[in-house]
Amino acid sequence: MENKNKTKAELVRIATKDGLELQGLLFEPKKKTSQALIHVHGWVGNFYENKFIDCIADEAVSNGLGFLTFNNRGAGIVNDFIKKKKSKIEYVRIGGSLEEFSDCILDIGGAIEFLIKRGYKKIILQGHSIGCQKIIFYQHKVKDRRVKGLVLLAPIDDFAFCNFLLKGRYHRALDIAKKMIKDGKGNSQVPDWMAFYPLLSAKMFLNVADPKSLSARIFNYHGELKEISTIDCPTLAVFGSKDKHEQNAEEKLNILKKKIKNCDIKLMKNCEHKFVGFEKQLSKSIINWLKTI
């Protein structure tokens, strides 16, 4: 398999510790290398939708790095995943509207173990949007010494963005979701007016909207940022100046610069959340930064 720029890729299947099968693409340079970049996609996304994936893959391979992009269990709105349990195979319905945020540890861990078995020793984790929360949470909890750096692409404040979207109805929405959880309806769909995506469950709503939840508090820029402050590996944070999901991106980058022990920041002028039209510039910035760590 090849992308349009002729960089060859292998379709791979990754097994997580709980038996889930995750699909992805592995791009490798001709000469054996010990370093690889893993991409963790955003909310209800997937491993191939953003065009910057093509450019980063090309740039990584051209500079002697492996590049893995894969579906985590938050892929798509609702998805059926193959799960192997001993000798049996079953299908589990998850996806971005139903996932449990903390399970990102299983997904990222599975991707890292896959690459380690392929001979890689130095791993860089790259996240986009909620993928940033996931790689920060993984490294905060696991403190994986094989991870040599983090790349945060559009690390938005989920709590602030949810508050902004719901405006005066935010607290009412929070109460409804909490009651649904209390009543044992955590996987049930929230009312349409408070759903950012179709079929959004009460559990996932709270994951991103409740400031006390794991996902929402990681990049709550007006909060304590405890998880971020524990990161001790080199980190690159990138925002587009016209990211509609984040107010005053430059200010947020400066906060990250202060909170993370070893953090470089980059603001891409006139660029939006998915870096459309800035893919080559983004990919060169990431790979050039990787050469410095």
- Please tell me whether residues 164 and 150 are part of one structural domain: no
- Please tell me whether residues 132 and 165 are part of one structural domain: no
- Average pLDDT for 65-86: 95
283, part of any domain: yes
Check: pTM over 0.85? Answer yes or no: yes
- Tell me how far apart the alpha carbons of residues 293 and 183 are, in angstroms, rounded to a whole number: 49
- Please tell me whether residues 45 and 131 are part of one structural domain: yes
Helices 170-182 and 158-166, packing angle to 10 deg: 110
Residue 182 main-chain phi, psi, to 5 deg: -60, -35
- Tell me how far apart the alpha carbons of residues 16 and 38 are, in angstroms, rounded to a whole number: 15
121, part of any domain: yes
Q: What is the pLDDT of residue 123?
A: 98
- Please tell me whether residues 82 and 125 are part of one structural domain: yes
Q: Are 110 and 16 in contact (CB under 8 A)?
A: yes
Residue 210 corresponds to which tokens in the numbers above? Answer: 């409740």
277, part of any domain: yes
Q: Are 71 and 41 in contact (CB under 8 A)?
A: yes
Q: What is the mean pLDDT of the chain?
A: 95
User: Given pLDDT bands bounded at 50, 70 and 90, which one contains residue 6?
Assistant: low
The domain boundary, picked from 166, 197, 218, lies at 218
Q: What is the pLDDT of residue 3?
A: 52
- Average pLDDT for 160-186: 95
- Tell me how far apart the alpha carbons of residues 108 and 259 are, in angstroms, rounded to a whole number: 23
* pLDDT of 7 strictly over 90: no
- Tell me how far apart the alpha carbons of residues 78 and 70 are, in angstroms, rounded to a whole number: 16
Specify the DSSP element, H or E, that contains 229: helix 226-229
- Please tell me whether residues 112 and 209 are part of one structural domain: no
- Average pLDDT for 237-255: 96
- Tell me how far apart the alpha carbons of residues 253 and 235 are, in angstroms, rounded to a whole number: 12
The domain boundary, picked from 218, 247, 265, lies at 218
- Please tell me whether residues 111 and 179 are part of one structural domain: no
pLDDT per residue over 82-109, tens digit each?
999 888 999 999 999 999 999 999 999 9
* Partners of residue 40 on adjacent β-strands: 70, 127
In which domain, by residue range, is 18 found?
9-156+223-290
Which of 62, 84, 76 has its CA nearest to residue 13?
84
Residue 49 corresponds to which tokens in the numbers above? Answer: 């939708």
* pLDDT of 2 strictly over 80: no
pLDDT per residue over 110-159, tens digit each?
999 999 999 999 999 999 999 999 999 999 999 999 999 999 999 999 99
The domain boundary, picked from 202, 218, 234, lies at 218
- Please tell me whether residues 36 and 127 are part of one structural domain: yes
User: Given pLDDT bands bounded at 50, 70 and 90, which one contains residue 247?
Assistant: confident
- Please tell me whether residues 46 and 131 are part of one structural domain: yes
**Structural domain count of the chain:** 2
CATH number, domain of 45, equals: 3.40.50.1820
The DSSP output letter for 255 is: H
4, part of any domain: no
245, part of any domain: yes
- Please tell me whether residues 132 and 181 are part of one structural domain: no
